[in-house]
Amino acid sequence: MDLINSRYWPASSSSSTLYSLNLFSSVRELKVIAPALSRQAFAKLLEHCTKCGGRSGPVCGDTLQRSFLEFSYCAFEEDNLSCGAPFTCPACTPNMLAISVDGNRKLYRFLRNGSSDSSFFDGAFIAEDTSVSAFVDVLHKAVKQLPGQGRCGSSSWTAAKETSRRTFKLDEEGMEVAVCRHGFLLKALNMFRGEIIINCLLLNVTLYCCYLYVALDKS
């Protein structure tokens, strides 16, 4: 308690390593302003400041991460007890500025298994397969596609191509999910052609329409 009252956070039970609470406050601000800043990059920044100050010694990224997570949890509990204002992310509220989309191609399913189980979240969280197929067909008719290539404008990505030797025997390759920068699930769809760019476009359009509907409803 004496260390915490002195604005220090012990990294171990023996208090052999201490972190300044001002440092953790700076980390929290950086994670909001620059979400792409990694733990390794911040540790290298601290090491650079150490060398510029005429000191030596590496910064343990694992210890820094664990201590920062402990500090964040305690700060969260303190805000709840004191009825403080909840944390708001400028990238997520009041309007969603950015989302992350990725696919898991290991959720294999085969028609020959004879399974007819329906999804509990079909149409709510997971987009309906018929709607996805209709959206893909409309764009394929409007934009000329090159077999085996995933194109968006003048760019081409190997990961976004619609044909693959490894998955051509699969009836359903997996699932593609859109999340916010905090990892909260927003929308998903079943993949039948791989992680094609059209899937990302559909998830973005769907989420945009949802937020637009909520905004119009509030106004």
Residue 161 sits at φ, ψ, to 5 deg, of -70, 155
Higher pLDDT, 5 or 119: 5
Tell me: the pLDDT tens digits for 12-48? 777 778 888 888 888 888 877 776 778 888 888 888 8
Q: Return the minimum-mean-pLDDT range out of 11-20, 108-117, 179-188.
A: 108-117
**Contact between 211 and 181 (Cβ < 8 Å):** no
32 falls within a domain: yes
95 falls within a domain: no
25 and 127 in a common domain: no
Higher pLDDT, 165 or 192: 192
User: How many distinct structural domains can be found in the chain?
Assistant: 2
131 and 67 in a common domain: no
Q: Return the minimum-mean-pLDDT range out of 31-40, 50-59, 146-155, 184-193.
A: 146-155
92 falls within a domain: no
Q: What's the pLDDT score for residue 214? A: 60
52 falls within a domain: yes
- Tell whether the model's pLDDT for residue 165 goes beyond 70: no
Range of the domain at 69: 2-81
Query: 159: pLDDT confidence band, cut at 50, 70 and 90?
Result: low
The string of DSSP letters for 10-72 reads ESSTT--SEEEHHHHHHHHHHHHH-TT--HHHHHHHHHHHHHHTT------HHHHHHHHHHHH
136 and 74 in a common domain: no
208 and 134 in a common domain: yes
Final residue of a structural domain among 50, 81, 112 = 81
What distance in Å separates the CA atoms of residue 191 and residue 196, rounded to the nearest whole number? 9
Final residue of a structural domain among 53, 81, 109 = 81
Tell me: the pLDDT tens digits for 64-89? 888 888 888 888 888 888 877 666 77
94 falls within a domain: no
138 falls within a domain: yes
